[in-house]
């Protein structure tokens, strides 16, 4: 992804480049990816200097299938150096 510019424009370009190569399917479980990124953020808190902050951007075309697990994962991650942004695309009932 180093070929993409920084910022929002880079995110949009990376999304556009990946879109033709992915296949959407369900269920839409968010808790595994939230927990995965939270592990990286938790490791960052063990460093002497607070030098890392994580932003998890989830672009989804489906409604969350594991809402209880995702809610729990987000609450657990709330004390870590990370933010979670969820963007719904398409016609699902977000």
**Using CA atoms, how far apart are residues 63 and 26, in angstroms rounded to an integer?**
9
| CA 9 to mean position of chain CA atoms | 17
Q: Whole-model pTM?
A: 0.77
**pLDDT at residue 4 tops 80:** no
Supply φ then ψ for residue 19, to 5 degrees: -50, -45
Instruction: Say what the pLDDT of residue 18 is.
Output: 87
The helix/strand/coil state of 91 is coil
pLDDT, tens digit, for every residue of 18-31?
A: 888 988 778 999 99
State yes or no: pLDDT of 1 exceeds 50: no
pLDDT digits (tens, 9 = 90+) for 60-92: 888 899 999 999 999 999 999 999 999 998 888
CB burial of residue 2 (10 Å; 0-12, 13-18, 19+): exposed
* Residue 83 backbone dihedrals phi, psi, to 5 degrees: -125, 150
């Amino acid at each position: 992804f180093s070929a993409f510019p920084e910022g929002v424009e880079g995110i949009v370009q990376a999304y556009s480049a990946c879109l033709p190569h992915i296949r959407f399917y369900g269920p839409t479980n968010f808790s595994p990816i939230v927990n995965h990124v939270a592990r990286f953020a938790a490791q960052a808190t063990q460093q002497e200097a607070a030098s890392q902050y994580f932003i998890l951007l989830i672009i989804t075309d489906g409604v969350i299938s594991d809402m209880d697990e995702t809610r729990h994962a987000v609450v657990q991650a709330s004390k870590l150096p990370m933010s979670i942004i969820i963007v719904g695309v398409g016609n699902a009932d977000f």
